[in-house]
Amino acid sequence: MSIKGNIVRLLSNVAASSLFRSTSEKFLISAGHNFPTNRTVQSFCRHFGDKLVEREGTGSGRTATFESGGQMYCGFDGQIGPVSLMHYFLGTITGQTQDERPIVRLLNQLMRQGDVFFDVGANLGFYSFYVGPMCGKSGSVHAFEANPRLIPHLARSIELNKVRSNILLNPVAVGNQSNKQLPLYDPERIGCSSLHVHGWLDSDSVVMVPVITLDDYVRERRIDRIDVMKIDIEGAELDAFQGMEQTFLDYPPSVIICELMPYENLYGRDHIEVVHRAASAASPTQIAEFLHVRGYEMFQIVETDGRLRLHDKSVALMEDARHVENVAFVHSNFKGQRPELFVTD
């Protein structure tokens, strides 16, 4: 560890002592919410969180409250604890390969009471819990998560949001065929496990998970609208889209916020390494072409205000990038309905 890292760890140890813990925690929450991309702030939050877990034990936890009023339980248990605590301190998703605050800014403008939101690959549930109060009890959030390690965490957090939200938890993978089971690789790697064997995963660590198509889900639940979909399932996005052909015809989502994964990725928290996307996973080009045929156009999510601008970069260039990128695919029926969301210059 670097000299700076050792200093941060030492100061975090002092801050987490019983004498200073409460004041330090409030200060770090304020710093994290105001400067969530600052690496020094992130480092202090991470080390302080580790010390909280160490001093208070795995039976403890915190509740994160987001700008929308949505809440998430951040437990101290296992691998979920340190990751969820970063949501508690920062109030958003950042500090990874891509800052996702532009997505939040877009959702703040997109979502309305009564809307239906699909969160495919919910992970810890940030987007489900953030959007829940926006849709309200008259709308609904449908959270899909295949990793069984995350289900108790999601279920507990859903209870926190019951008064203001209608969130349905589906502990399944989404694919192109229902009523079967598929291997989920490296479930211990929270947020990075996948149905495809990417270069960063431990292929010897596997759990079998049930699969459903969104067509079957929509039919069984008698859903007659999908306003927005957020999908991030580590390279299995095209499989999910192939399983919603009827939905694209009957109830196409107005906006699909989708993570596109290049062939090579820079990966690693403590060091950087180049790893490769699994050969079985779809490329950005395949995903974009599939959705284009079904009436979608690809937009960039503007960093400053979350509005949408026609993407100035081809999917071929995204394939050669070294990090994932979140884009918005907008259905042709939607652009005229909400012109204020689009940058025209």
Does residue 276 fall inside a structural domain? yes
State whether 78 and 136 are in the same domain.
no
The residue range of the domain holding 285 is 101-341
Question: What whole-number distance in Å separates Cα of residue 272 and Cα of residue 267?
Answer: 6
Domain of residue 277, CATH code: 3.40.50.150
Count: domains in the chain = 2
Q: What pLDDT shows up at residue 144?
A: 98
State whether 238 and 293 are in the same domain.
yes
Paired strand residues for 342: 308
Does residue 96 fall inside a structural domain? no
Please give the single-letter amino acid code of residue 311.
H
State whether 312 and 277 are in the same domain.
yes
Instruction: Report the length, in residues, of the chain.
Output: 345
Q: What pLDDT shows up at residue 275?
A: 77
State whether 66 and 86 are in the same domain.
yes
Paired strand residues for 141: 117, 167
State whether 245 and 305 are in the same domain.
yes
State whether 235 and 295 are in the same domain.
yes
State whether 324 and 246 are in the same domain.
yes
Question: What whole-number distance in Å separates Cα of residue 234 and Cα of residue 121?
Answer: 8
Q: What pLDDT shows up at residue 195?
A: 92
Q: What pLDDT shows up at residue 69?
A: 95
Taking only the tens of pLDDT, the chain with its 345 residues reads: 566 566 667 777 777 677 778 898 899 999 999 999 888 898 888 888 888 888 887 777 899 999 999 999 998 777 787 788 889 999 988 755 568 899 999 999 999 999 999 999 999 999 999 999 999 999 999 999 999 999 999 999 999 999 999 999 999 999 999 999 999 999 988 888 899 988 888 889 999 999 999 999 999 999 999 999 999 998 899 999 999 999 999 999 999 999 998 877 666 555 556 778 888 888 899 999 999 999 999 999 999 999 999 887 777 777 877 778 899 999 998 988 999 999 987
Answer with the one of 59, 90, 121 that is the final residue of a domain.
90
State whether 158 and 298 are in the same domain.
yes
- Residue 6 makes CB contacts below 8 A (sequence gap 6+) with none
State whether 199 and 70 are in the same domain.
no
Q: Are 297 and 328 in contact (CB under 8 A)?
A: no
- Residue 293 makes CB contacts below 8 A (sequence gap 6+) with none
State whether 183 and 232 are in the same domain.
yes
Q: Are 279 and 286 in contact (CB under 8 A)?
A: no
Answer with the one of 90, 113, 140 that is the final residue of a domain.
90
Answer with the one of 56, 90, 124 that is the final residue of a domain.
90
pTM of this structure: 0.92
